[in-house]
C-alpha cells in the first residue's frame, strides 16, 4: 500500500483544483480553489495532495500556527482542511489518509496535539475524527465550528 502526501506544485495544481466533494458536503468544506487562495494569503497554510497507489484521491491543508495560550506555549498544529474526492469516497481511503496525515504532522512538527474544527452536524467526518481519538475541547473557531484535538 503506497500513500503519499505531496505539496501542491505547478505540476499537480490543475489536478488538485479538479478535486471536489459530493454536493451534500459542499457546505462543510471550502473548494480546493478557495483553499489555495487562502494559502497564498497565510504563510502558515501548507496545502497538499493525498495520493494512494500513485493516484490523487484527496486534499489536505495543514500548518503550524503561532497561537499562544496556557496549554500551547509553542503554538498549535492544525489539520485545517481534509477531504477525499467524491469519486473515491466510501472505499476506506478517508481512514487511511487521516492516519497517514496524523503521522505526517506529528513527525513534521514534532507536536503533542493536532487541532481541527468541524461543524457538529457533519456526522461522517465527526465519526471519522472520533475514531482516531479527536475529542471536542470546548472551543469554537472564528467560523463557529467546534474545535477538536487529538493528543499524541
Q: What is the pLDDT of residue 74?
A: 78
pLDDT at 73 over 70: no
Q: What is the mean pLDDT of residues 9-15?
A: 97
What are the residue ranges spanned by the domains of the chain?
3-151
- 3-class secondary structure per residue, 70-103: CCCCCCEEEEEEEEECHHHCCCCHHHHHHHHHHH
pLDDT at 72 over 70: no
Instruction: Tell me the percentage of the chain whose pLDDT exceeds 90.
Output: 91
Q: What is the mean pLDDT of residues 86-106?
A: 97
Superfamily of domain 3-151: Gcn5-related N-acetyltransferase (GNAT) (3.40.630.30)
Active-site hit among 44, 62, 129, 142: 129
Q: What three-state secondary structure class fits 38?
A: helix
Q: What is the pLDDT of residue 67?
A: 73
Q: Is 115 a catalytic residue?
A: no
Give the pLDDT confidence of 17-54 residue by residue, as tens digits: 999 999 999 999 999 999 999 999 999 999 999 999 99
Amino acid at each position: 500500500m503506497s500513500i503519499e502526501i505531496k505539496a501542491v506544485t505547478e505540476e499537480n495544481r490543475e489536478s488538485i483544483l479538479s478535486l471536489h466533494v459530493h454536493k451534500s458536503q459542499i457546505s462543510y468544506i471550502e473548494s480546493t480553489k478557495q483553499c489555495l487562495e487562502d494559502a497564498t494569503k497565510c504563510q502558515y497554510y501548507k496545502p497538499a495532495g493525498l495520493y494512494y497507489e500513485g493516484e490523487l484521491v484527496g486534499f489536505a491543508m495543514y500548518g503550524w500556527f503561532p497561537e499562544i495560550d496556557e496549554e500551547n506555549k509553542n503554538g498549535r498544529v492544525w489539520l485545517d482542511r481534509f477531504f477525499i474526492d467524491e469519486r473515491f469516497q466510501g472505499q476506506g481511503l478517508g481512514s487511511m489518509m487521516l492516519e497517514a496525515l496524523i503521522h505526517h504532522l506529528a513527525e513534521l512538527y514534532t507536536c503533542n496535539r493536532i487541532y481541527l474544527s468541524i461543524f457538529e452536524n457533519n456526522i461522517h467526518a465527526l465519526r471519522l475524527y472520533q475514531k482516531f481519538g479527536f475529542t471536542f475541547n470546548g472551543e469554537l473557531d472564528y467560523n463557529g465550528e467546534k474545535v477538536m484535538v487529538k493528543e499524541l
